[in-house]
Amino acid sequence: MIIRSLIGDIGLDILLYDNNYYKEKIIESVINELNSKFDKFKQLHNDIELEISLIGHSLGSLILFDILNNKQYYEKLNFRVINFFGIGSPVSIFKLIQRDKLKDELYCDNYYNVFHECDPIGYRMEPLLDRSLSTVNPVPLETLSSPDLIIDKVKNLNVLSEYISGLDIMKNKNGLDVAKLDGKLSPEHVKKIHNFNTFGRIDYVIKSKLLDLDMINALKSHVCYFEEFDLINFIIKKLLAKKQKLSIDEALKLNKVN
């Protein structure tokens, strides 16, 4: 029953979205809803300079990607997007099947494609930009030893203040977990990725636990992202990082690419 429901919810929605008529209707509805939420929040907090980040899961990530990859759609938004998190995203396989050529950049500073390595629906994005990037490992998310670690970080203002101002203690001054890959990441790779993420990487992976390798757990991995403390920690670090945008030279240095 769970598998049937999952396939129905995701598969049928994607089939509808693949139809141009319904796609336009869906995108228009999402843009209107985003603008409505933003305008209401702005009315209540008009003295705050807002920095907007978007999170999309599964088909939601595909819809947001299409909005941010199309100037005509993006200009209908009432706000500028800093970060876009695509979670368990089928964007790359969808674009590959459609033979849809990607535009050179997204209308946001940083696009993060986060997927569980057992997720049958979430796919890597970087190899779609450059086929040779398929030989470069995605960046593994930092693993928390206990859920209490993230709770301790945000439950009181003193700890939160230290968290905001001292992100350098979390492995890196920019709150970026750059994995030690296999040395195949090249300057050309980073420059291509920079148009989509100024930190020089897009793909981030949640590693499997020992018992996550059967079919049920694989399907479960697609619907349980927001129960993952590692993912929550990752998103918080990105949102609270003091520096949200890097130059190409800074991205090359960050990724230790000469």
Q: How far is CA 214 from CA 10, 120, 142, 211, 219, in A?
A: 20, 12, 24, 7, 9
Residue 58 among the catalytic residues: yes
Quote the CA–CA distance of 60 and 65 in Å, as a whole number: 8
Among residues 55, 195, 67, the alpha carbon closest in space to that of 129 is found at: 195
Decide if 152 contacts 163 (C-beta within 8 A).
Answer: no
Q: Which of 36, 58, 146, 186 is catalytic?
A: 58
- Taking alpha carbons only, the member of 124, 121, 137 closest to residue 88 is 121
Residue 53 CB partners (closer than 8 Å, separation 6+): 81, 82, 83, 84, 85, 238, 239
Residues labelled catalytic: 58
